[in-house]
Amino acid sequence: MAKNPTSEELKERIEELGKEAKKYRQAEETLQESEEFNSALLNNAPNPILVINPDTSIRYVNPALEEMTGFSFQELIGLRAPYPWWTEGTLHKSQKDFEDAIHKGARRVEELFQKKNGERFWVKITSTPVKSNTEFKYYLTNWVDINDRKHAEEALLESEDKYRNLVERANDAIIILQDTIVQYVNPRASEMMGYTPEESIGTLFPQYVHPDDIETAIDRYNRRLSGEDVPQIYELSLVHKDGRRVPVEINGGVINYKGKPADMVIIRDITERKLAEKNLEMERAERAFIRETFGAYVSEEVVTKILESPEGVNLGGEMREITILVSDLREFTPLTESMESSQVVGIINRYLEKMTAIIMRYGGTIDEFIGDGILVFFGAPIPFPDHPKRAVACALDMQASMDEFNSESIRLGIPELQMGIGINCGELVIGNIGSKKRKKYGAMGSPINVAFRVESQTSGGEILVTSSVQTRLAENLQIDATREVNLKGFDEPMTLFRVAGIRGGGILDKASGS
């Protein structure tokens, strides 16, 4: 049998119930105050406000909406879409905007509605879905009267004076379309397409669009008029009356023209812009080619100087005096016959890497590697005026580096090697040589053959130069021997000079372009 509560327990229980009742009353009061506040806020809002249930039935309208539309609260509550303010002409667009708002969330649109008395008016609608725990409860829309602005826009188009000032004198072509039919063209449009207004008005606009772009143009037009959010500005090509293609930028927008929806298309000729873009692309391609072509054969400083130079580099070909240097390892081929191929490649790569670094320091351009030989020219692409001096100084530095190279070789069990160098100076054709698929920047001319012949006359680690080099360097060139030789392909004997050194410094600074 349950025990009866004591008087003390009953007292405590009564106090608890009293507290709970007080909390409940406070909650009710707070809720009532909140509802009264919200109701007062909505009822006194200056802009029309509409609340719609998930089934599209109208849940609430404030007095401002009643005043704007002429429909009373009692007439509207419970009504489902389509709503009485939707017009027959914009019914499809309004329905589409409404469905998009329901399914896609908050958005802003401009709509043409009608009052109960049939009067038309424009509003800008901001719509927001209201949810509770992810469940869609109702849709809150706020209207802003934009009637004055819209009428001003329509008046601007309909006004003859403003029309002439703003449209006929526009630098861009302006066309007004209804159902893709041309209703109006300004003088610039006639000039751009080559047709008089009489020839174009009443025709279908797609006939002026290039076949490649017709599908895009029609798709954008239809989607824009149906209220879809499509890019306003895009590019396509028109066809001039004379058949030429005219690249243009299209900027379209929906307007009300003579009481009906229309598309006002602003067309800008972008022929010059496209040409500038093409030239810029060609310039970028040429700069990329220069960097790719010269990057492996000259220093980064030289590449940068070429790109920064106003005249750049003549890739088409030109005659220029340059100095040719040819180097070759003595007796290297017989030595490789007893080596593994990987060992041979290792020696060559180590040698070429060391020589390449020296050549680039002096501003030389490596034309090609020929086995263990190197063909280098100085004075192109950058026209260094002291190219003979650079070539000789580079050759001396290359020979000096052979001591370090041979020390490394001996540690690896490889015999010492010697390098012969021949140098000649003369006028050659230099430029971009090859086919479209394979080309390089190089030089052509008999002075190259002479340089190879001179190098073949060297023995040990000699540097031999022709009189063309000796004459240009004069007293700056230190010679320790001369010899008369008969070079293959030449009838007369040629004097060669063996280089012992060179006077004067500062070459490295000049080579880097400073």
Q: pLDDT of 343-398, one tens digit each?
A: 888 888 899 999 999 998 999 988 888 888 999 999 988 889 999 999 999 999 99
Q: pLDDT of 182-207, one tens digit each?
A: 999 988 999 999 999 999 999 998 89
Which candidate, 494, 498, 323, 496, places its Cα nearest to that of 425?
323
Amino acid at 441: Y
| Percent of the chain residues past pLDDT 90, beyond the cut | 33
pTM for this prediction: 0.47
What's the pLDDT score for residue 127?
83
Burial of 62 (0-12, 13-18, 19+ CB in 10 A): buried
Provide the angle, in degrees to the nearest 10, between the axes of the packed helices 271-295 and 300-308. 160
Using DSSP bridges, classify how beta strands 463-465 and 418-434 pair: parallel, antiparallel or unpaired. Answer: parallel
What's the pLDDT score for residue 2?
58
The torsion angles phi and psi of 77, rounded to 5 degrees, stand at -60, 125
d(CA 11, CA 14): 5
Compare 225 and 510 and report the one with higher pLDDT.
Answer: 225
What's the pLDDT score for residue 383?
86
Amino acid at 261: P
d(CA 110, CA 126): 9
Q: pLDDT of 6-51, one tens digit each?
A: 777 767 777 776 666 666 565 555 545 444 545 666 787 888 988 8
**Which of 35-49, 108-122, 288-302, 494-508 has the weakest average pLDDT?**
288-302
Residue 253 is classified by DSSP as: E
Which residue shows structure tokens 């022709």? 466
What's the pLDDT score for residue 511?
42
What's the pLDDT score for residue 130?
82
What's the pLDDT score for residue 37?
47
Which residue shows structure tokens 């016959």? 337
d(CA 250, CA 234): 5
The torsion angles phi and psi of 108, rounded to 5 degrees, stand at -125, 135
pLDDT band at 477 (very low <50, low <70, confident <90, very high): very high
Tell me the C-alpha to C-alpha distance, in Å, between residue 99 and each of 76, 111, 130: 19, 14, 15
**Which of 130-144, 306-320, 328-342 has the weakest average pLDDT?**
306-320
How many residues in the chain? 514
d(CA 367, CA 363): 13
If you average pLDDT over residues 195-221, what whole number do you get?
89
Q: pLDDT of 424-456, one tens digit each?
A: 999 999 876 666 566 667 788 999 999 999 999
Enclosing H/E stretch for 53: none
Using DSSP bridges, classify how beta strands 135-145 and 58-61 pair: parallel, antiparallel or unpaired. Answer: unpaired
- 3-state SS, residue 36: helix
Q: Tokens standing for 71?
A: 């429909």
d(CA 135, CA 104): 14
* CA triple 225-229-231, angle to 5 deg: 95
d(CA 126, CA 106): 7
DSSP 405-447: HHHHHHHTT----EEEEEEEEEEEEEEEEE-SSSEEEEEESHH
Residue 160: how many other CB atoms lie within 10 Å = 8
Buried b (16+ CB within 10 A) or exposed e, 332-351: beeebeeeeeeebeebbeeb
Contacts of 463 (CB under 8 A, 6+ apart): 392, 395, 396, 399, 420, 421, 422, 423, 498, 499
Is pLDDT at 402 greater than 80 in this prediction?
yes
- Within 296-411, residue ranges assigned H as helices are 300-308, 332-336, 341-361, 387-411
Enclosing H/E stretch for 156: helix 147-158
d(CA 393, CA 131): 82
Instruction: Give the domains, in start order, of the chain with CATH numbers.
Output: 42-145 (3.30.450.20), 151-269 (3.30.450.20), 281-511 (3.30.70.1230)
Would the CA dihedral through 204, 208, 209, 211 be positive or negative? positive
Q: Tokens standing for 476?
A: 């700056």
**Which of 176-190, 306-320, 410-424, 443-457 has the weakest average pLDDT?**
306-320
Q: Tokens standing for 500?
A: 């012992």
Q: In what order do the strands lie in the sheet with 58-61?
A: 58-61, 49-52, 135-145, 120-132, 107-114
Q: pLDDT of 113-170, one tens digit each?
A: 999 999 989 999 888 888 877 787 888 888 999 988 888 777 766 665 656 666 777 7
**Which of 222-236, 345-359, 478-492 has the weakest average pLDDT?**
222-236
Compare 304 and 130 and report the one with higher pLDDT.
Answer: 130
Q: pLDDT of 45-58, one tens digit each?
A: 888 988 888 888 99
Cβ contact 218:180 at 8 Å: yes
Q: pLDDT of 232-242, one tens digit each?
A: 788 889 999 99
pLDDT band at 463 (very low <50, low <70, confident <90, very high): very high
